[in-house]
Structures are given as C-alpha cells and as structure tokens.
Amino acid sequence: MEHVHCHPDESAHRPGNEIITQSEQNRSVADQVERVSTELARKSESLLGTLARFRT
C-alpha cells in the first residue's frame, strides 16, 4: 500500500481557489489551536487550584 504525503510546495501547482481553501483551512486550524490552548490554560489553573487546596 502506497502512502501519499503532502508537501508544502505542492500548493504552488494548484489552481488559485484551492490555495484560498488552504488558507481558510490554516485559519480554521489556528482558531482550533487557540480554543484548545485557552481550554488547556483554564484546566491547568483549575488543577493548580485543586493541588493548592490539598497542600494546605
């Protein structure tokens, strides 16, 4: 079975509308990363608060 890998330079060979789609996809991924990191920060603070209560 053959594996297909995406290379960044392949976007240069695509029609313009697919490059826009790639850009939108990148923005979507960036939004997801931001949401996940915000959620992770919130959970980390909550966990630290819980640990602090157990230590005292």
pLDDT, tens digit, 9 for 90 and up, residues 1-56? 566 555 555 555 556 666 668 888 999 999 999 999 999 999 999 999 999 998 87
* 0.75 surpassed by pTM: no
11 near 19, Cβ under 8 Å? yes
Tokens of 27: 């923005």
Residues 6 or more apart in contact with residue 22 via CB below 8 angstroms: 11, 14
Nearest of 34, 35, 11 to residue 21 by alpha carbon: 11
